Amino acid sequence: MYIPSSITAEKRSRLESGECHRLTCAAVPLPSTGLVSMENKEPQAVAELMNMALGFIKPMSLKCALDLGIADQIYSHGRPMTLSQLQSALSLPQSKEPHLRHLMRILTHFGFIQMQIDANTSAEPIYDITPMSSLVTNKEGSLNLVSLVRFRLESIEENIKALLCMAEWLKQGDNKQTPFEMAHGCRLWEMASENSRLNESFNSSMASTTSLFTNVIIKSGGDIFKGIESLVDVGGGIGKVAKSIASNFPHVKCTVLDLPHVVRDLANDGVVKFVSGNMFDYIPPADAILLKFVLHNWGDDDCIKILKRCKEAISSTEAGGKVIIVDAVVGRPRAREYEETQLLLDMLMISVHAGAERDENEWESLFTKAGFSSYNIARTIGLLSVIEVYP
């Protein structure tokens, strides 16, 4: 530290002791062009930019792994496999083994597969499944999301076409169409009603969320259903979640409300009642209304309309009457590590439905405008939160 000789002995002592560490010399800031900092960060910036531009390769690598059945093959084998064992088991030509190695390398990088190398031997590396890849295997008794993941991957062409219209859509302030409608001339629901393959894939993907829903709500405690005797699952598809609720909480009488093409072939089985209809027009009365992965499909105005219909349908506030929402709450402290995935889903919801993944302030605004008195974020598990909204 430089201390001028002209300074008093008292101040010299205070400076030397560090007592004056909050005092700083005034300096005239020089204008910065940012050239030095930009030059130092340029290689990283180039890599990050290219990573964004090549981002489509990540889901396509995953689709390739699913189409080949890599994770299922390793799981069925019962132990890790070498590359040559995997190539043989998948019935791939010997000439493609080097290319398979490169596929396994990127799958390992993304955490879908793990590679183990014994540094003390010259043995081949071995490959094993990870918690991520176990979610798409036929492993019994575990969470299985293969239908959901396959739907996302198999509808990627339709979604990309919608995303390609995003810039033009943003320029058109009075355009009531979604980017998806601009690209395809119809909404996703309309396309699904006319396309049996897409409809089947979509319904299967929704059915696979039953396990996810079970993990989020049922296994984490049944207090959400305490005091509830009846429940309507709005947009409940073929009733997998409703049946799961009825099975775990027999005192809850469950009804599924969905569009005609979804429930037309489904019979009431005494466990779940199916009602054909549109949530914008009418929701059957019940103690609780369940909206799982529904509101993120819609813009704010439509969400308010749906929530108002839910409020009308709640039969009694004394019987624990409420709306139960299962959706993302972006930016929750306990979910920071999942925020990138939530933001990717946000862009998908905007492009396909003109919907959104919302933060807590945005949710609160919807509830207030729909006339609700209070809400509670009951729990957050991974990407999803459970929100209880009270009339």
* DSSP code, position 235: T
How many degrees, rounded to 5, is the angle at CA 298 between CA 301 and CA 222?
A: 110
Q: How far apart are alpha carbons 115 and 194 in whole angstroms?
A: 44
Q: What is the C-alpha separation between 346 and 151, in angstroms, rounded? A: 17
10 Å Cβ neighbour count for 313?
21
347, 330 contact by CB (below 8 A): no
Alpha helices in the chain (DSSP H): 9-17, 35-53, 57-68, 70-77, 83-89, 97-109, 146-154, 156-164, 166-171, 179-184, 188-194, 196-213, 240-248, 260-263, 300-313, 339-353, 360-369
Q: Which of 119, 142, 120, 117 is nearest to 128 (CA)?
A: 117
Q: Is 251 a catalytic residue?
A: no
User: For the purposes of burial, counting CB atoms within 10 Å of the CB of 79, is it exposed (0-12), middle (13-18) or buried (19 or more)?
Assistant: exposed
Q: What is residue 290's three-state secondary structure?
A: strand
∠ Cα 190 194 153 (to 5°): 80
Which of 206, 202, 107 lies closest to 155, judged by CA? Answer: 202
What's at 100, amino acid-wise? Answer: L
C-alpha dihedral sign at 60, 199, 363, 380 = negative
- How many residues can be counted in the chain? 391
Do 358 and 329 meet the contact criterion of CB atoms below 8 Å apart? yes
Cα dihedral 114→120→124→125 (10° resolution)? 10
Return the ∠ at Cα 80 (arms to 74 and 81), rounded to 5°: 75
Q: Which of 99, 184, 261, 296 is catalytic?
A: 296
Q: Which residues form the catalytic set?
A: 296
